[in-house]
Amino acid sequence: MKDAGTGESGRAVGGADGPGPDGEEGVDERLLARVRTALSRSSGPVTPPVVVDALRASAEPLGTAGALRVAPRLGAALVGAGALQVLLDEPGVTDVLVNGPDAVWVDRGRGLRRAHVRLGDEAAVRALAVRLAAGAGRRLDDASPCVDARLPDGVRLHAVLPPVSPAGTLLSLRVPRREGMDLDQLVAAGSVPAGWALVLRRVVEHRLAFLVSGGTSSGKTTVLASLLGLADPRERVVLVEDAGELQPRLPHVVRLEARHGNVEGVGSVGLDELVRHALRMRPDRLVVGECRGAEVRDLLAALNTGHDGGCGTVHANTAADVPARLEALGALAGLDARALTTQAASALDVVLHLRRDARGRRMEEVALVGRRGDELVVVPALTASGPGPAWGDLAARLDLDPGQPPAGASAGGERLLPRGAARPAVAGDPAPAGALR
């Protein structure tokens, strides 16, 4: 079957030539054409009840039960992700990746596995990518062969067409978590050490500014949303995101989302501009979903001018790599290394680093941001092996007992001084230029 204007193969589950992954046969081309014709006579969004009504109007002798059975597959073929929709709807799925018509991979939270889904041929994969991009209001063709967009249901779409991808059309679909997890659930899942929960609660309660760092798909957004849920419900939280992913459990949340340029390349609204607008909206907390460009300058400026408690995420391999990452982002905004160090050392307090490996996603370090001379440094306070050198200072800031680190750790280590505090000299100290402050 053909999708209007694209020539897309309409195999909603598996394909018309065989069963899909759920054992059901694909959608008949003639039936799809009749339903499409019936839908063209109606206005408004294509919802499941609308598809069922169109099925009944198609003169196909399916009956009510048959119509209800076929409607989801028809909806997927018409406005959903086609044969991929069954995977996107599966509980626990985080990513669906397409490397070719016969190369579909799915991550159910335990790493990538091959999925038994066929998408027809290269033309069908390309048509699906083009249709999904169009549904997100974006252009995808030979003149614009790459797209990054959010679908109406919140799924994050990235698509690449040949010749940029020589082997064929590539699709990457990131599924947002349908229901957020609170801190207790993260602890129960093993993503956060149980002994660290009180520390994280105090970070939010004491309005320390923090960044959640980690690699791709390490759980940064999930952790950030769970920590925001610990904020005072009377606070007004303003979210600035490229694509809306954060779903904090708070009653007073205002969301701003970046806008890409149109086909002519005009009309874009970047994160840096949105951060400036957010500051005029009386935020109690300013949140940047992901710092990845010039907006880092405006975020740091905001955190340095009385907007405490702000937070965001940043990509970094380790917590110790966060200063280098911020320096690179600052360069995009015209900040030199010294200016970035001055801004970040005064604006940021804590880095929470996450890692994803074969054992899953977990928080592996809580660190303090400080300054050593003209260098921005991130010093471990809590690690998987015990307290780090900055634990004493972090405990003091959070009104915790430095001598009682989280269970399983032993006290000790040097102190990272609070912002602006003077360090008393002790025997064996390096020169003052090397002191952490």
Say what the pLDDT of residue 202 is: 97
What average pLDDT does this structure show over 40-63? 58
Identify the band that residue 373 occupies on the pLDDT scale cut at 50, 70 and 90.
confident
**Residue 131, phi-psi category: left (phi > 0), alpha (psi -120 to 50), beta (remainder):** alpha
Asked whether 150 and 108 are in contact (CB, 8 A), the reply is no
Q: How far, rounded to the nearest angstrom, does the alpha carbon of residue 203 sit from its chain's CA centroid?
A: 22
| CATH tag for 29-174 (out of 3.40.50.11750, 3.30.450.380, 3.30.300.30, 3.30.530.20) | 3.30.450.380
| Residue 308, phi then psi, degrees to nearest 5 | -75, 165
What average pLDDT does this structure show over 391-400? 95
Answer yes or no: is pLDDT of 367 > 90: yes
Would the CA dihedral through 308, 311, 317, 319 be positive or negative?
positive
- Pick the more confident residue, 76 or 378: 378
Say what the pLDDT of residue 50 is: 62
Given this chain, do its domains 29-174 and 183-434 carry the same CATH topology?
A: no
DSSP 108-161: SSS-EEEE-----SHHHHHHHHHHHHHHTT---SSSS-EEEEE-TTS-EEEEE-
- Cα 369 from Cα 391, distance rounded (Å): 12
For 21-30, 279-288, 331-340, which range has the lowest pLDDT when averaged over its residues? 21-30
The structure tokens listed for 123 are 């033309």
- Whether the pTM exceeds 0.85: the reply is no
Q: What is the CATH number of domain 183-434?
A: 3.40.50.300
Tell me the sheet residues that pair with 107: 95, 112
Q: Where are the domains of the chain?
A: 29-174, 183-434
Answer yes or no: is pLDDT of 330 > 50: yes
Answer yes or no: is pLDDT of 418 > 60: no
Please, what is the Cα angle at 373 between 370 and 374, to 5 degrees?
90
Say what the pLDDT of residue 294 is: 85
Asked whether 187 and 328 are in contact (CB, 8 A), the reply is no
Identify the band that residue 375 occupies on the pLDDT scale cut at 50, 70 and 90.
very high
Span 305-316, pLDDT tens digits: 888 999 999 999
The structure tokens listed for 363 are 């928080």
- Cα 259 from Cα 241, distance rounded (Å): 10
